[in-house]
Amino acid sequence: MAENKKNKSALAEREGVPQPTTLNLKVVEGLKKFRKKTPSVESLLKGILNQDQGALSQAITLIESTALKHQQQAKQIIEGCLPHANKSIRVGITGVPGVGKSTFIESFGKLLISKGKKVAVLTVDPSSSISGGSILGDKTRMEELVKEPNAFIRPSASGDTLGGVARKTRETIILCEAAGFDVILIETVGVGQSETAVHSMTDFFLLLKLAGAGDELQGIKRGIMEMADSIVINKADGDNLKAAKMAKNEFNRALHLYPAKESGWAPKTLLCSALKNEGIAEIWEVVSNYFETVKGNGYFQYKRKEQNKFWLMQTIESRLKSEFYANPSVKVELEKQLKAIDENKTTPFAAAEILLNLK
């Protein structure tokens, strides 16, 4: 917690470092330049609609900024982008560290670009503000994709809460779509509820796995299997291939046992080796089939509208809660009431009443 507090500002964590590295100097320089030379809302919007990645990047920085002026500018840009947004497909990708997410996105992204797509890669990583680094912070992990003119890679916004990070990513999606990106890949490392957040902002949810030794399903977080539209077992090559095939069977069997999806889509397990570019085309085929299915039966449009309503309610409710719990007298009383509940001296309902009267 103490560490978390210290890192609340992106600059604060560099306090006391006597010799900043070259990279840090560059960041500071870039920030200075940005602060001096932020172009007007009009020119940024024009730039985005002209598919200028520099303008897109600067506008996203406005979304991420906590300065009120920047937030107002960001709002205007988002409004200007909205009529041009919503035309992409949005794919969420999750998997534990080490599963090969970056390698997979590099391989999958390159395939999409070879098919004439424009690919934006975003992340939802609420831990980045704590660790001081993002899972995509090191862009060199996608060293080929980053060089493609039709690819845009943007690491997670830093933020104290998942809600804040998720909001920024959702707004960034709108800007990317207005800038002509037609496939948005959103990566998450799966900290806390981040998969649920990514699931609720994407059309298709892909779970990356490795073949393990035996009981594949025990290690999976509750609810993740039910969210997945496809499970992809990575590193299915060489000595791993046999175990990967067995894992595929086990996952398919498990998927079959879940209730049917509202989308009418039956999730599939696939094998790939991202490093060797094997199985990637088959994954794209499955993803394409999914979009054919859900655009055909109307679920695609329905889900996007539901997602928007969900985010509206979510935003309202989380603000109502955070304002309530931020009240200093509520904070003091909450401690007291939780203690009374622990000691069986009150009921949750009586305690709630006392707290609500402090509003």
- Which of the residues 96 through 155 are near a second copy (CB under 8 A)? none
User: How many residues at the interface with a second copy, by CB under 8 A?
Assistant: 53
Among the listed ranges 4-12, 99-107, 147-155, 256-264, the one in contact with a second copy (CB under 8 A) is 256-264
- Out of 28, 317, 331, 332, point to the residue binding a second copy (CB under 8 A): 317
Q: What token pair was written down for 186?
A: 């959103």
Query: Stretches 79-87, 91-99, 123-131, 271-279: which one binds a second copy (CB under 8 A)?
Result: 79-87
- Helical ranges in the chain per DSSP H: 2-6, 22-37, 41-49, 53-64, 68-81, 101-114, 128-131, 162-178, 194-199, 224-227, 241-257, 280-296, 299-326, 328-342, 348-356
Copy the structure tokens of residue 332. Answer: 């003091």
Q: According to the binding rule CB under 8 A, does residue 86 interact with a second copy?
A: yes
Neighbours of 258 (CB within 10 A): 12
Residue from 26, 69, 242, 309 touching a second copy (CB under 8 A): that is 309
CB 100 within 8 A of CB 194: no
Choose the binding region for a second copy from 32-40, 144-152, 211-219, 241-249 (rule: CB under 8 A). 211-219
CA neighbor of 267 nearest in space, from 283, 282, 256? 256
Choosing from 51, 131, 240, 315, the residue that interacts with a second copy (CB under 8 A) is: 315
Task: Answer yes or no whether residue 68 interacts with a second copy by CB under 8 A.
Answer: no
Of 108 and 265, which has the nearer Cβ to a second copy? 265
Binding mask 171-190 for a second copy (x = CB under 8 A): x--x----------------
- Dihedral of CA atoms 81, 318, 155, 138 in degrees, nearest 10, equals 180
Packing angle of the helix pair 68-81, 162-178 (nearest 10 deg): 40
Point out which span in 113-121, 186-194, 236-244, 338-346 binds a second copy (CB under 8 A).
338-346
- Cα distances (angstroms) measured from residue 41 to each of 30, 47, 254: 19, 10, 50
Binding flag, residue 167, a second copy (CB under 8 A): yes
Residue 352 binds a second copy (CB under 8 A)? yes
Assign 144 to helix, strand or coil.
coil
- Cβ atoms of 112 and 142 within 8 Å: the answer is no
Q: Which of 35, 242, 295, 319 binds a second copy (CB under 8 A)?
A: 319
Applying CB under 8 A, among 12, 308, 329, 336 the residue interacting with a second copy is: 308
User: Is residue 338 within the footprint of a second copy (CB under 8 A)?
Assistant: yes
Residue 209 exposed, middle or buried by CB count within 10 Å (0-12, 13-18, 19+) = buried
Q: Considering the rule CB under 8 A, would residue 321 count as an interface residue with a second copy?
A: yes
Contact between 218 and a second copy per CB under 8 A: yes
Q: Choose the stretch contacting a second copy; rule: CB under 8 A; options: 32-40, 41-49, 80-88, 98-106.
A: 80-88
165, 124 Cβ separation under 8 angstroms: yes
**What are the Cα distances from residue 194, in Å, to 5, 200, 227?**
20, 10, 12
Q: Identify which of residues 33 and 253 has a Cβ nearer to a second copy in the complex.
A: 253
Using CB under 8 A as the criterion, which residues of the chain lie in contact with a second copy when the complex forms?
Answer: 75, 78-79, 82-83, 85-86, 167, 170-171, 174, 217-222, 226, 253-254, 257-260, 305, 308-312, 314-317, 319-321, 324, 337-338, 341-342, 344-352, 355-356
